[in-house]
Structure 1
Amino acid sequence: MDVIFLLSSFGLAIICLAQQCAKPSGGANMVLRDEYITKSTFEDGASVSFSCSPGYTAAGGSVRITCSAGAWSPLQLKCEKRNCGPLPEVNKGDIEYKDGTEYGATAVVTCRSGYILVGQSVLKCDVQGWMGRVPTCDEVKCVTPAEIVNGRFSPNKDLYGYSEVVQYSCDKGLELHGSTELICSENGKFSSAPPTCVRVECKDPVIRNGFWESGSRPPHKYRATVTFKCKPEYTMIGNPTVTCDINSNWSPGLPKCTSHGNALVGLLTGALVVTIPILLV
């Protein structure tokens, strides 16, 4: 009789143990809630809850399952990636989304021409949403350019906007050497260095065996032109008309008047220089 009672008790113990459930595992992108993590077995009738993994949100279904006769009821919870949604529009800027607007995606903000980015250009969709503050696009500004000796510029302001133009001028009798206009560029600097004011005067040209035909008379100022002619028995080599350039030089250089014989020798010499390589070939 005692043996039967012991066996019966042992059988009940086996049945009780069989009713327990092992720690359940959740579906994709979900975890068992903290209060249940430390337990390895659960009694018959016990219930546990799941939550979505960081970066995921519940998209329907019950979060709770129950242990019944050693087995857990089906888990109905569905988890999907958190969607951060679009960022607020950036004035004078553009936003490019890498792989959409869901958890793990990134957004890159760029500014349009003439505007500079202030803040972080790359934002990431994280657990709590877009991480970081949305940047702004501020208009490019250039500071006042340098003054020049014997000259001035206008308009004269503390700051200039993108593509705004500054114009330089010189005192009477002087010429601008360099750019007359400076433009505020997209990097916040003017397009070139300020010009200088120079006095331009070319020396009175003298051509041996030639003479002045037309054009400027001394003093020869900037862009003054002179045209020469050779004496009847001479041939001109070079351009007959020259111009006084910004460096006070005649451009493209003064011509030469050569006697007909010397001119022919020069032409033949030039021809030989050209034909010798051909003969060698």
Structure 2
Amino acid sequence: MSLKLALLVLAAVICTVYATGSSSSGLSYLAIKRCYVKRVSYGSHDSKSSYIKYRQYVTYKCNPGYQIKGSAKVQCRLFGRLSVPSCVKIPGCSRPSNSHFPVGMQYSPSKPRYNTYEKVWLSCVDGYSLKVRSSSDESIRCLPSGKFENVRAYCVRVSCLFPRAPDNGNVKGKAPFVPKVKVWFSCNAGFVLDGKKDLVCQNNGQWNDDFPTCRPVPKCRSLGDLENGSFDLDKNKYDVGDEVTYECDAGYELEGESVLTCLKTEKFDHDKPECVEILCATIPIDNGSFDPDQDSVVVGQDVTYECDEGFVLDGEKTLVCQADGQFDEEAPECVPIQCEFPGEIDNGSTDSENDLYDIGQTVTYSCDKGFDLDGEATLTCQNDGEFTPDKPECNPIVCPRPVEPKYGRIKGKRTTYRPNNKIWFFCDAGFELEGKKDLTCLSTGEWNFEFPTCVPSGCPHPTAPSNGYIKGTKPSYKAGDKIWFKCNAGFSLVGKKDFTCLKNNIWNGKFPICKEIPSGCKAPPSVKFASYWPRRSSYSAGASVTYKCYRNYILIGSDDITCGKGGSWAPGSQKCVRTNSCSGRCYKYVKGARCDCDAGCKRRGTCCRDFYSICH
């Protein structure tokens, strides 16, 4: 059968399958529309079933050490065709085993797999050294066979050179001298070790330092005599560790270290000290001077101090320089001349109570309540150390003797009246006290109020309330007299309106007050052809209503009016006119009107019919 004929037969089968779901050749519709998912050696796929539908995909992957040959993601085609890939072994080597290497050898890098011809580098662990014939032996390669080359290098154990004892000395240690083994060095008598006394063999086969040597014990030369002093050990040469102690003659002191020690460096640990003459540094003082006027004096010399005018010396006047470079006494001070506190006074106090006061400072005295100062209140400290003038005294304060009122008497009388003493005034029957009943004597020597008087008794004069008045007023009121309270227009009385003076000279109740009557408005004025809202019988001050004209009418004036405090509405003059008439609106533009009556209506052609008859 030719290729062309085979293709025609295949097309006919496909058409039959699509049309009927079956074919005469026995191929089912499912056989054409699904694929069997095959497994691959050394790999797996992501399909959850053994079959996938036409045009679906399945993805294959390989196990470690293997790689996909072909497409990893394949699609199901007609007639169950699925191009399954294969897994082939990846060329290269796996990690070499320890048995591949001699003792003490290691390699790098270390990883699970290596590519063909990839190298690993050889080295030895601590304590071993790598030995090779040539530089190429320092590494091995992964061969195409999947195995590494044979190792041609080897590791040998490291050791250090046998330690040599220094001249005039010894060395201790135990062979073999491999890494971490230690040796010790020492010198014979008369010699000292120059270098480290112990050495350690290192991993590189070298000792950690140079071998030490033994050299003769050093000595120090004499530093010579000490001028104006002496020392305790006199030699031409001093052994290491020898100490020389220096001291100075009387009148001199040591400058430097008193004890010097001979060191291994053949030198003393400090320079030779010196003996210098002892001096006492003079000490200046404020507000004074000293003699002799110089920076220092020698031992045994004295210095004399004196103070400036207005100051006095506190301390020794003359100081003597001692052998320790200090004066025999502390330097004195020049302190201001001061006055002693002049003392307290009886029945009084001061503004300060210091023990001493400088010249010009003051002390001020004051007396306790009920006492008066006799003398100057302020005293001043003078140059002679005394206060002037003399200290004052505090004498008792008394108030004048009170006079009994006519028709009355006084309670609390005494011979003299001191501050805080009280007296009480009383009137005879039919009289009452006019003024303060009880008076107190003040610290100023005066009574706190004028003396009262006794006047005929009666009810107190009433006071008219604010925004009101009283009817029946008199100059005075006796028992049985009456009064009446009234309020001004716009105010109402709160309380009782009529009162009677009683026999005990009091009114028979509490006086009333006048309270403002709240303001408001009655119903607003009616406008022809209009209604208003809200509608009430009365309105409080500040309330507003809104006018609205009937249909085919417009409002001339304000839509809203407000109730004022005086009970009147404002603004007024509202009027409703027909929208097709100029009545009441000549030369006025009204928004929403059917025709206009303003000056521009002729130009616009919107004038009302009666515009010319009413507005011209």
| TM-score (ref. length: structure 1) | 0.52
CA distance in 1, matches of 2:307, 2:495: 92
CA distance in 1, matches of 2:500, 2:313: 83
Correspondence for 1:137: 394
Correspondence for 1:164: 421
Correspondence for 1:107: 363
Q: Deviations over 1:53-75 (max 9, x none)?
A: 23x33323438xxxxxxxxxxxx
Superposition pairs of residues 17-96 of structure 1, within 5 angstroms: 29=287, 52-54=308-310, 56-62=311-317, 78-96=333-351
CA distance in 2, matches of 1:243, 1:132: 70
User: What is the Cα deviation at residue 166 of structure 1?
Assistant: 1.2
CA distance in 2, matches of 1:134, 1:242: 67
User: What is the Cα deviation at residue 91 of structure 1?
Assistant: 2.2
Provide the aligned C-alpha RMSD in A: 4.6
Structure 1 unaligned segments of length 5 or more: list them: 1-25, 32-47, 64-75, 204-217, 229-234, 257-265
Summarize the Cα distance change of 1:50–1:160 in structure 2 as closer, same or farther, 3 Å threshold: same
Out of 361, 380, 384, which is 1:124 matched to?
380
Summarize the Cα distance change of 1:277–1:53 in structure 2 as closer, same or farther, 3 Å threshold: farther
Is the CA contact (8 Å cut-off) linking 2:341 and 2:357 kept in structure 1?
no
Q: Deviations over 1:166-223 (max 9, x none)?
A: 11111222111221111001111001011111112249xxxxxxxxxxxxxx9629xx
Correspondence for 1:177: 434
SS of residue matched to 1:102 = strand
Correspondence for 2:66: none
User: What is the Cα deviation at residue 102 of structure 1?
Assistant: 2.2
Summarize the Cα distance change of 1:244–1:141 in structure 2 as closer, same or farther, 3 Å threshold: farther
Q: Deviations over 1:12-46 (max 9, x none)?
A: xxxxxxxxxxxxxx975469xxxxxxxxxxxxxxx
Correspondence for 2:202: none
CA distance in 1, matches of 2:406, 2:400: 19
Is the CA contact (8 Å cut-off) linking 1:144 and 1:160 kept in structure 2?
yes
User: What is the Cα deviation at residue 148 of structure 1?
Assistant: 1.9
Correspondence for 1:148: 405
Correspondence for 1:15: none
Out of 260, 268, 272, which is 2:519 matched to?
272
Is the CA contact (8 Å cut-off) linking 1:124 and 1:131 kept in structure 2?
yes
The residue type equivalent to 1:183 in the other structure is: T
Correspondence for 2:479: 220
Superposition pairs of residues 254-269 of structure 1, within 5 angstroms: none
Summarize the Cα distance change of 1:108–1:251 in structure 2 as closer, same or farther, 3 Å threshold: farther
Summarize the Cα distance change of 1:239–1:52 in structure 2 as closer, same or farther, 3 Å threshold: farther
Q: How many residues align?
A: 192
CA distance in 1, matches of 2:407, 2:542: 55
User: What is the Cα deviation at residue 244 of structure 1?
Assistant: 5.1
Correspondence for 1:210: none
Correspondence for 1:73: none
Q: Percent identity?
A: 21
User: What is the Cα deviation at residue 243 of structure 1?
Assistant: 7.8
The residue type equivalent to 1:137 in the other structure is: C
Summarize the Cα distance change of 1:136–1:277 in structure 2 as closer, same or farther, 3 Å threshold: farther
Correspondence for 1:201: 458
Is the CA contact (8 Å cut-off) linking 1:52 and 1:58 kept in structure 2?
no
CA distance in 1, matches of 2:498, 2:371: 49
| TM-score (ref. length: structure 2) | 0.26
User: What is the Cα deviation at residue 134 of structure 1?
Assistant: 1.6
User: What is the Cα deviation at residue 160 of structure 1?
Assistant: 0.4
Answering whether residue 437 of structure 2 is matched by residue 190 of structure 1, we say no
Structure 2 unaligned segments of length 5 or more: list them: 1-283, 290-303, 319-330, 461-476, 485-491, 521-539, 544-562, 566-616
SS of residue matched to 2:517 = helix
CA distance in 2, matches of 1:271, 1:192: 47
CA distance in 1, matches of 2:500, 2:423: 29
SS of residue matched to 2:339 = coil
Q: Which has the higher contact order (CA 8 A, sep 6+)?
A: 1
Summarize the Cα distance change of 1:241–1:135 in structure 2 as closer, same or farther, 3 Å threshold: farther
CA distance in 2, matches of 1:176, 1:60: 76
CA distance in 2, matches of 1:184, 1:97: 30
CA distance in 2, matches of 1:251, 1:117: 54
User: What is the Cα deviation at residue 156 of structure 1?
Assistant: 3.7
Summarize the Cα distance change of 1:197–1:83 in structure 2 as closer, same or farther, 3 Å threshold: same
SS of residue matched to 2:518 = helix
Answering whether residue 352 of structure 2 is matched by residue 97 of structure 1, we say yes
SS of residue matched to 1:143 = coil
The residue type equivalent to 1:168 in the other structure is: F
Correspondence for 2:529: none
